[in-house]
Structure formats: C-alpha cells, structure tokens
C-alpha cells in the first residue's frame, strides 16, 4: 500500500520517466537511424511533458488579464471590484513590468493598481522554456534527418550495423 502511495504522489514524474526510458531504449538499441531519431523525439517529448506538468496549478487559468481587469482603477465596474478583493500578494505575472520600469527611472503612465493573485494563474515560465525546447527539438530533428539522407546517399542504407560492416571491409 505504501508503494502505491509513493507512485501516486508523483504520478506525472513516473509517466515522464517511463516515456523518457522508451525514447532512450529506442536511441540505444535500434540500428535504424530513423528509429533512433524517433526515439530522440520521444525523449524530448517526455521532458516537455514533465515541465508542462509541473507548471500546472489546481484551479488556475491561463495567465492573461482581461482588459477590464487591467483598467480596474479607472472605471469601477463589477469586474474591477473583484480585482481588489483584499490585500493579496502582488507577485502576479503582470506586476513585474511596473516595478521594473520604475527602477530604471522611467515615468509610468499606468499606476500599478491591478492586484493579481499568483495562485489564480498557471505559471507561464515553464511554457516559455518548453517553447524553446520544442523549437530546438525541431531544429535537431531536421538536421538529424538531413544527415540521415546524406548517409543514405553515400552508403545506400540507414542501418547502422550494415554501415559499420561496409566501413570495416573498406566498402
């Protein structure tokens, strides 16, 4: 029973480790180079899944402020009052801009009157990191496929063991 609790407490970790190991297995054992590249993609997808899963918060929504939330201080409608519900912590996503510009000594036109509760929004940073990872993954996959095509043009095969035999026997 304790064993299942250990697994279910960090369920996303286990899923990502299993997918990652499937990718690693394909990269190590398959001799076909395209299958190796597929294994590499599975490996990268596992890491993306892991990062996105740790950015999830229970009951949180996408980190976007609606227009009436941003201008809540100027015209007090129903949504504007909602934004001011008590002395919540203000380390929300949209608040950094105002502080930062004040530090550099620029005049700020909008007063920092919007109060954001960080628990209401999913963490965008992991998605940004994974956007980078996806783009780099596409680039490496493209270059890998191009190299595979080049190898096929040179050797007539993409099986790694056949290429090894060809190199050993001097073609």
Partner 1 sequence: MVTAVLADYRGYDTMFETVVIFTAGIAIISILRRFTSADADSGSEKVYEKRPDLIVDTTCRLMIPIIQLFALYVIAHGHHSPGGGFQGGVIFGASFILIALSRDLQAANKWVPEQRVLNLAGVGILIYAGFGLASMFLGQNFLDYAILHKIMPASPIEARYHSMLGVEIGVAFTVTAIMYSIYSNLASKGTMKEGL
Contacting positions for partner 1 (CB under 8 A): 62-64, 93-94, 96-98, 101, 104, 106-110, 121, 124-125, 127-128, 131-132, 134-136, 138-140, 142-143, 145-147, 149-150, 153
CA angle 94/96/99 to nearest 5° reads: 130
- Smallest separation (angstroms) from partner 1 to the CB of 128: 5
Residue number with CB closer to partner 1 (6 or 62): 62
Nearest residue to 116 (alpha-carbon basis) of 91, 80, 82: 91
For residue 144, which phi and psi values (nearest 5 degrees)? -65, -40
- Smallest separation (angstroms) from partner 1 to the CB of 114: 13
| H runs (alpha helix) in the chain | 2-9, 11-29, 33-54, 67-70, 78-83, 96-103, 124-155, 160-168
Query: d(Cα 78, Cα 8) in Å, to the nearest integer?
Result: 41
CA angle 82/85/88 to nearest 5° reads: 130
Residue number with CB closer to partner 1 (100 or 162): 100
- Smallest separation (angstroms) from partner 1 to the CB of 44: 14
For residue 104, give the 3-state DSSP assignment.
coil
Residue number with CB closer to partner 1 (7 or 34): 34
- Smallest separation (angstroms) from partner 1 to the CB of 53: 16
Residue number with CB closer to partner 1 (17 or 135): 135
Residue number with CB closer to partner 1 (9 or 62): 62
- Smallest separation (angstroms) from partner 1 to the CB of 106: 4
């Amino acid at each position: 029973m304790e064993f299942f609790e250990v697994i279910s407490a960090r369920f996303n970790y286990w899923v990502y480790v299993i997918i990652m190991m499937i990718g690693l297995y394909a990269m190590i054992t398959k001799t076909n180079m395209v299958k190796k590249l597929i294994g590499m993609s599975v490996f990268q997808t596992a890491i993306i899944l892991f990062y996105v899963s740790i950015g999830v918060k229970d009951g949180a929504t996408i980190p976007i402020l609606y227009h009436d939330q941003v201008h809540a201080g100027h015209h007090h409608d129903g949504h504007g009052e909602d934004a001011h519900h008590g002395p919540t912590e203000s380390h929300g996503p949209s608040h950094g801009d105002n502080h930062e510009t004040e530090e550099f000594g620029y005049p700020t036109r909008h007063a920092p009157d919007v109060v954001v509760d960080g628990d209401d929004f999913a963490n965008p940073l992991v998605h940004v990191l994974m956007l980078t990872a996806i783009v780099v993954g596409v680039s490496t996959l493209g270059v890998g496929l191009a190299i595979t095509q080049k190898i096929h043009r040179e050797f007539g095969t993409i099986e790694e063991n056949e290429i090894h035999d060809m190199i050993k026997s001097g073609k």
